Amino acid sequence: MFETLSDRLTSVFSSLRAKGRLSDADIDATCREIRIALLEADVALPVVRAFVAHVKERARGSEVSQALNPAQQVVKIVNDELIEILGGETRRLRLAKTPPTIIMLAGLQGAGKTTLAGKLARWLREQGHAPMLVAADLQRPNAVQQLAVVGERAEVAVFAPEPGNGVGDPIDVARRSIDHAKRQQHDVVIIDTAGRLGIDQELMRQAADIRDAVRPDEILFVVDAMIGQDAVTTAQAFMEGVGFDGVVLTKLDGDARGGAALSVRHITGKPIMFASTGEKLGDFDAFHPDRMASRILDMGDVLTLIEQAQKTFDEEQAKKMAGKLTSGDGFTLDDFLEQMAMVQKMGPIKNLLGMMPGMGQMRDQLNQIDDRDLDRIAAIIRSMTPGERAEPKIINGSRRARIARGSGVSVTEVSSLVTRFFDAQKMMKRMAGGLGIPGMPGSGGGRKAAKSAKKGKKGRRVSGDPRKAALGRKPSGGEGDIPAQKLPPGLGGKLPPGLELPPGFDPSKLKLPGQN
């Protein structure tokens, strides 16, 4: 969504990094490029003006002029202002003190309200709630049936007493749904209302009547992030006609320029609360302004990546796999297939890699990644026998030909997979051995050193020379010990029996042969 804006801002900041000091001309040129980048991203003009003015004011202040690295400080200022324009901090749902919490969805037809209702219900169910969907869109053809299908996929209840397709009173359905939710002990009610192709009085009156009938705790305005400046106009109309508490952005996975996300919050003053990033029910999460700003500036979104991994990976399974990886033993093609399936559950590989810092500079390579390659690898492994998966070394030429026929790929692809797996095994064994570097965790060299030290401790030879024997002993601080700084160079520790020095004697004053 923000690729164009991200590319422009990244190129602007790259030109600043070579400068040790920023002049007013540098700041003006940078702000001019930022203004162009925002306008190209379809951000509303009032928002662009306010944003650039704040950046310029702060860039000319002491926080940049006195900074050790002015370029990094300007990036920080832009990041801070992006976070502010996107809402400042994450806005959470307000839950009613006495259940059920009533959430009403409003927006134009085609914005994705019905699908988003299912995504929100699924997200709330995973948070431990018992949501219920209400089919109050009785105008659009098959809207009730669509909500029923979405509710079934999300594994949540659906209240749909009317068939829809122009039949039924949506205000009465919304009112009756609250009593039904109380009886069935649902703690969250999500009301899917009707939309129109454009703003009209009938749409606003119906939405306002539903609002007055159920008195929702949250009214969420659902907006298509791909419609550009029209998003701002629509948001202002709904704000005046119905009012809303938060914004939900849909279709953030599209290829539009994304200016709506940066404009709606600033124009309406209402926070962006949720974002839908795909067609699947799981492609939905709370909107974090700081993380979105970090993505725009190509600084990655590692926190979201970690959260997705935590939701996908089983803890016990992860510990078991970590043990295999660190030991370097027992990692088979079955384990590889299992790990690959877990990664695929997190979403498209391109999206996962895109959350890593600096990946914006490798966008062309990321666009060439095809998740179907993983499906081909899975087909190759599943075409192997259990014995071949556990011990790939037994896969000879005839076996590779059979596996290739079973998976529908060439023999070359099978050979390439087996070779890469062996390389991965070798790398894991090297990592398990600390790469041969003494002192590293799991280092083979470290284990050998410890073993030889233990062996030497058992049968250590002691020199017959008392001075050499004294050097091999560790100072114990007992009787007959002399501080190391008091001994002549080359001696240290405890003196051997019979060589105790008289009280008050300072051996550091002795002049040994070769000393001046």
Identify the structural domains of the chain with CATH numbers, from first to last.
Answer: 3-85 (1.20.120.140), 101-299 (3.40.50.300), 307-432 (1.10.260.30)
Is 114 known to sit in a ligand binding site?
A: yes
Whole-angstrom Cα distance, residue 41 to residue 399? 54
**Rounded mean pLDDT, 464-490:** 47
101 is in an annotated binding site: no
195 is in an annotated binding site: yes
Over the stretch 388-437, which tens digit does the pLDDT of each residue have?
888 888 999 899 999 999 989 899 999 988 888 888 777 766 665 554 44
| Token reading at 20 | 């040790």
**Residue 328 tokens, joined:** 């370097």
Q: What is the pLDDT of residues 438-463, one digit of tens each?
A: 444 444 444 444 444 444 444 455 55
Residues 248-292 pLDDT 10s: 888 876 655 667 667 788 888 888 888 887 788 888 888 888 877
- Mean pLDDT for the stretch of residues 135-160: 92
What pLDDT shows up at residue 57?
85
pLDDT, averaged across the chain: 75
3 pLDDT more than 70: no
Find out whether 113 is annotated in a ligand binding site: yes
> Three-state DSSP class for 310?
helix
Cα separation, 451 vs 438, in Å, equals: 13
Residue 250 annotated in ligand binding: yes
pLDDT one-digit tens code per residue, 24-55: 888 888 888 888 888 877 788 888 888 888 88
458 assigned to a ligand binding site: no
**Cα 295-301-306 angle, rounded to 5 deg:** 165
- Check whether 337 is labelled as a binding-site residue: no
> What are the strands, taking DSSP E only, across 10-106?
101-106
Tens digit of pLDDT for each residue in 186-202? Answer: 999 999 998 877 777 78
Residue 253, marked binder: yes
Q: Is 53 annotated as a binding residue?
A: no
To which residue do tokens 């609002």 refer?
A: 211
* 53-57, 61-65, 196-200, 242-246: range with lowest mean pLDDT: 61-65
281 in a known ligand binding site:
no
Of all residues in the chain, the percent with pLDDT exceeding 70 is 65
pLDDT above 90 covers what percent of the chain? Answer: 19
Q: Is 252 annotated as a binding residue?
A: yes
User: 311: annotated binding-site residue?
Assistant: no
Q: Is 196 annotated as a binding residue?
A: yes
∠ CA(144), CA(150), CA(156), 5° rounding? 105
491 is an annotated ligand-binding site residue: no
Distance between CA atoms of residues 143 and 163, nearest Å: 9
Q: Are 235 and 44 in contact (CB under 8 A)?
A: no
Residue 179 reports pLDDT greater than 60: yes
Q: Known binder of ligand: residue 107?
A: yes
pTM of whole model > 0.75?
no
Tokens of 433: 């051995």
DSSP 481: B
